[in-house]
Amino acid sequence: MADDRSREGTETAVAEFHKKIKEAFEVFDHESNNTVDVEEEEPTGYIRFEKFLPVMTEVLLERRYRPIPEDILLRAFEVLDPAKHGFLSKEELIKYMTEEGEPFSQEEMEEMLSAAIDPESNSVHYKDYITMMVIDEN
């Protein structure tokens, strides 16, 4: 009995996911032909909806790509700031973001700096930065 209910619940959830995924896909499907281009000006690849749907459904069901909690994010910044200054210098941020992990492109770096840098001190007060980004989202 419980199994039936949970199966039904999953089925409804999947149906809802499907609608959501379809809607999101359509926002980027400019030609209404069930494909989304990977690159804007010179399309180097396409994603077809039929392939996208099952993959995305799995992702949503398994609750991957959940938003990263604020406190975890804060700790990540603190790792990069072992002296616990409470901020990172512009140069430090650039070094980490463009040399470590999955490096930023120059465009990405510039965009992040435009919002994150405090122009007077030329540094990133990451606690404030995180708070600002989170508020803006909601």
Closer CB to another protein, 1 or 72, in the complex: 72
| Residue in this structure with the two tokens 């973001």, named with its chain if needed | 97
Of residues 10, 11, 13, 30, which one binds another protein by CB under 8 A? 30
Show the binding pattern over residues 79-98: x = contacts another protein (CB under 8 A), - = does not.
xx---------------xx-
Element at 124 (helix H, strand E): strand 123-124
> Residues 6 or more apart from 77 whose CB is under 8 A from it?
88, 126, 127, 130
Closest CB 130 distance from another protein, rounded Å = 9
Closer CB to another protein, 11 or 100, in the complex: 100
> Could you please report the per-residue DSSP string of 39-87?
SSSS---EEEHHHHHHHHHHHHHTTTTPPPPHHHHHHHHHHH-TT--S-
Interface with another protein (CB under 8 A): 16, 19-20, 23-24, 26-28, 30-33, 41, 65, 67-68, 72-73, 75-77, 79-80, 96-97, 100-104, 108, 111-112, 114-115, 133, 136-137
